[in-house]
Structure formats: structure tokens, C-alpha cells
Amino acid sequence: MAGEISGNSTARASEERGIRRLVKQVAEPEGFSLFELDFGEDSTGTPAVWISFLLDHEYPTTKDSIGALTRLGQRVKSNLFEHDISRVPYIRFRERQKAVG
């Protein structure tokens, strides 16, 4: 089920903190500090983490900016694999929702 991490709550919190730290190591220096993590199993039943980077509505959609996002995703996944996380990482980019009210 999405959003859940198997195991006890201490292990879950530790796993989430570790993954969040590894994503930040790569993303923040590149100017992408807003992201969400969603834990669950992918369509094959393999433990996974979906990393959603939140982009402003004004984020450009040029060839260069799309290339920068692609490289960011590759670097994040490489960093996670280098640290032997137990989940398959999936990278997503989506528009950040504006606050209502």
C-alpha cells in the first residue's frame, strides 16, 4: 500500500530519514529543495520509493531545463544505489500546488 513502509515504526522512520538525506545531498545544491517521498510496492510487488520533485508553475519547459531534470533524477538514483537502499527509486516531477486561501 502506498505511503507505508514495512517493519516497525523505528525502522520505518530511520529508512525514511536516510533516503530523505541522500536525496537532499544531490537535490538541494541543484536548487531542488522541495520533494515528497511516497513508500510502497511497485507493480511487481518490489519495495519502492517514489520521489516527487515539486516544481513551480513557471518552471521552464525548454530542452535545457528538461535535460537538467533528467540529470537530477539520474544523480539522485545513482546516489541511492551507491548507498544500497532496499527500495527501487522512481523519480517524478510535478507542479507544486498553490496554497488556497
CATH number at residue 88: 3.30.70.1350
Residue at 44 is within a domain: yes
- How many domains does the chain fold into? 1
Residue at 29 is within a domain: yes
Mean pLDDT of 63-78: 95
Render the chain in DSSP notation, one character per residue.
Answer: -TT--SS-HHHHHHHHHHHHHHHHHHHGGGT---EEEEEEE-TTS-EEEEEEEEE-TT---SHHHHHHHHHHHHHHHHHHHHTT-SSEEEEEEEEPPPPP-
- In the DSSP assignment, the letter for residue 84 is T
pLDDT tens digit string along 11-45?
Answer: 778 899 999 999 999 999 988 999 999 999 999 99
Residue at 23 is within a domain: yes
Residue at 100 is within a domain: no
pLDDT exceeds cutoff 50 at 1: no
61: domain range?
A: 9-95
Residue at 3 is within a domain: no
Residue at 58 is within a domain: yes
Residue at 4 is within a domain: no
pTM score, two decimals?
0.83
Residue at 39 is within a domain: yes
